[in-house]
Amino acid sequence: MKTKLHANKLRIHNKFENIVVEINEVENDIVVENNDIVVENNDLVENDIVVESKDGEEFKFIDMFSGIGGFHQAFLKLEKDIKFKSKCVLACDSDKNCRAVYFDNYELEPHPNIKKIDEKTMDDFDALCGGFPCQPFSNGGKKQCFKDKKGLLFDEIIRIAKHKKPKFMFLENVKHILKVSDKKVIEYIKFKINETGYVLQLFEMSPHLYGIPQQRQRIFFVCVRKDLYNDKDIELIEDKLNKTAEDILEEKCDEKYNMKQDVSKVLHAWDELIQQFDENQKMSPTILINDAFRNYSDEEFKTLANWRKDYMTKNKPILKKYKKIIDKWYKKHKELLLKREVYGKLEWQAGPLKKDDSIFNYFIQIRQSGIRVKRNKYFPTLVAISQIPIFGKVKRHLTPRECARLQCFPENFKLSESDRASYKQFGNAVNVFNTHTIIKSTLKHYGYF
């Protein structure tokens, strides 16, 4: 890197020494080229200029399982906020749609296969970043863990780290990784990180704890190379945002984000019922309304899944209390409620009913477990599968741009042309603000600024 400075005094600070050059007699430019000083004739400006760097170079990182670049955005935010210079020297993702969006935003083409990256020919770098695939460990997945080929991709991180020995690794995964397989997964990860020469510190984070209206529990792994470790825990900086659910909404959006006709009908049907219930009525567990009107024999009941039998048993008091209301209501909406199994399940997670309550006072998701209704302070976790939250207040799904805002991507971030791809990408992405907090806190702790 070559920088020309008009100055009468230049201080170059790096990890090892301070160099002070004074020019008092001749009009000159000072040219800094990789910490070599060259003097060239030109007009002199009477100022002191301080150039500070760590090892005299940009901080370099690689972005593994990059998705659409949540880690990359965290470093860009560092540059914007505190002028910390960094450069991504390699990205990698198997999803072609993610690679297209990544290139569109960063002008860097991600490698398509981490297993084919040759660690022996890679550029040097200071940090390895990666939200390694979470499906094998998440509640939304099948929890196959290391039986799933994606689970083994963590070992690709270790392969690269063993050879390149970066100063830091910043990794992210779902909270559930801490307990799956009787904690064998997390113990394996800890063992491999330690064996590779790093000290590990875990951080449990969620955007909603930092003033962002999305509840998204995640685990960040901060790995510090042992020869750099200073025997002190990293303390997170306390920067927070102050955004509400309304803050992330677009003022105008296409009608295509409105609820589909059947979804609208079934939500209005359930809303019609709960408005006939008493104030303070408790609504849990999940109401299985179709099961309530099926005549199971004792033998048939015994064959049902334990969770279903448990719910049906616990549903009896509310069904008995409002029997006349429910019988009439079910007869009216039976055909609709039987159209899809999820339509007959109301998973209410918004507490006891309030006066004049409505399902549209809350956030709603159509999930395999049923129609989930959640309090309206924090959006439910964005996920990679098609469960796009409905904001009851405006009676529509979130748009891709609103999902980007919930994940703290900037307004100038270029989205995929496919909404379906965008929803998946933001469901998989790391939250930029949480990631920025982790990286900034670590680098500050180790004296980078």
- Please compute Rg for the chain using Cα positions: 27
Which residues face 220 on adjacent strands?
A: 172, 203
Question: Cβ(292)–Cβ(338) under 8 Å?
Answer: no
CA distances to 90, 214, 435 from 122, in Å: 8, 37, 25
Give the chain's count of helices (H) and strands (E): 12, 18
Active-site entry in 98, 134, 145, 223: 134
Residue type, 62: I
Examine the residue annotation and report whether 134 is marked as an active-site residue of this protein.
yes
Sign of CA dihedral 429, 431, 437, 438: negative
Sign of CA dihedral 318, 323, 328, 331: positive
Question: Cβ(380)–Cβ(363) under 8 Å?
Answer: yes
Distance of CA 266 to the CA centre of its chain: 31
The residue behind tokens 């609709």 is: 336
Surface-to-core class of residue 346, CB atoms within 10 Å of its CB (0-12 exposed, 13-18 middle, 19+ buried): buried
Surface-to-core class of residue 289, CB atoms within 10 Å of its CB (0-12 exposed, 13-18 middle, 19+ buried): buried
User: Would you call 350 helix, strand, or coil by DSSP?
Assistant: coil
CA distance 219 to 364: 25
Structure tokens at 34: 């990789």
Q: Which residues contact 10 (CB under 8 A, 6 or more apart)?
A: 20, 21, 30, 32, 37, 49, 51
CA distance 109 to 118: 16
The residues annotated as belonging to the active site are 134
